[in-house]
Amino acid sequence: MFQLRSDKKETENKTIRFPVPLIEEIEEVIRENDVSFSGFVLQACRYALDNLNTSKTEKK
């Protein structure tokens, strides 16, 4: 299960465009969980990478 947590580390800036409705949904969630927008995106990306379909690597 995806759980938000506070986590600050060395970073590098990247620019990404989000659809406005998605930003609004994210901002609602982060307000309720005391997490920054960047923190949310980083944790969501980590969760996605950790939970990718690994069928390609399992076949090797």
Domain ranges of the chain: 20-51
What's residue 44's pLDDT?
A: 95
Mean pLDDT check: name the lowest of 5-9, 10-14, 36-40, 44-48: 5-9
Instruction: With a cut of 70, say whether residue 18 has pLDDT above it.
Output: yes
> What's this model's pTM, rounded to 2 decimal places?
0.67
pLDDT digits (tens, 9 = 90+) for 19-51: 999 999 999 999 999 999 999 999 999 999 999
Instruction: With a cut of 60, say whether residue 55 has pLDDT above it.
Output: no
User: Residue 5 contacts by C-beta under 8 Å, 6 or more apart in sequence?
Assistant: 35, 43
What's residue 11's pLDDT?
A: 76
What are phi and psi for residue 32, nearest 5 degrees?
Answer: -75, -20
Determine contact, residues 30/36, Cβ cutoff 8 Å: yes
Determine contact, residues 2/47, Cβ cutoff 8 Å: yes
Torsion of CA 44, 50, 2, 26, to 10 degrees: 10
